[in-house]
Amino acid sequence: MEGDPYVRRMAKQVQQDQMTRAARRAVLIDGIPVSTLGVIALALGSNPDPSTSQKAWWIVTTAVFTLAIVWVLWRAFRRADEYLRRIQLESMAIAFAAVLVGLQAATLLDAAGIIRLHQLAEAILLGGVGLWLTIADLRTRLPR
C-alpha cells in the first residue's frame, strides 16, 4: 500500500508534537511558582532603605528563588529528549549573553552615576530568565 508509510510518518509526527506540547506544559507548570517567587524577591529587594528583617527576607527569598530555578532546570533536562535539550541549551546561551550585556551596561550606568546597579541587577536577571523561556518556547512552536 502506498499510504502506509505516509500514515506511519504522520502518526510519528503527531506523537512528537504531543510529547513537545507535554514537555512545554510541564515546564510552564514548574515555572509559574518560580516566576512568582522571582517577582516577590524583586519587590522585597527594591526597597531603598530596608530594615534588618526585610534584608533577611530578601536574602532568603532570593536563595529559594535560585534553588527553584536549579530545580526547574534539572527537571526540564531530565524529561527532555536530545532535540529539546539542544533547544534549551541554545536558548540559555542567548539569554546568558543578554544578561551579561545588560549587567555590563548597568555597571557603566552605575559608574556614570545615572542609575544604581542595585536597582537594575535583579530586573536584568529576571529578564534573562524570561528571555530564555520565551526563546525556548518559540523555538519549539515554530518549525524551521
Which grid coordinates belong to 50?
Answer: 530596608
Closest of 125, 141, 104 to residue 23, by C-alpha? 141
pLDDT score recorded for residue 137: 82
On whether the CB atoms of residues 76 and 34 are closer than 8 A, the answer is no
Do the beta carbons of residue 1 and residue 43 sit within 8 Å?
no
Domain ranges of the chain: 3-141
pTM over 0.75: no
- Whether residue 133 is predicted with pLDDT greater than 90 in this model: the reply is no
66 contact partners, CB below 8 Å, separation of at least 6: none
Confidence at residue 7, expressed as pLDDT on a 0 to 100 scale: 63
Confidence check: pLDDT of 26 > 70? yes
Q: 3-19: per-residue pLDDT in tens?
A: 577 666 666 666 667 77
With cut-offs at 50, 70 and 90, classify the pLDDT of residue 136. confident
- Helices 117-141 and 82-112: angle between axes, nearest 10 degrees: 160
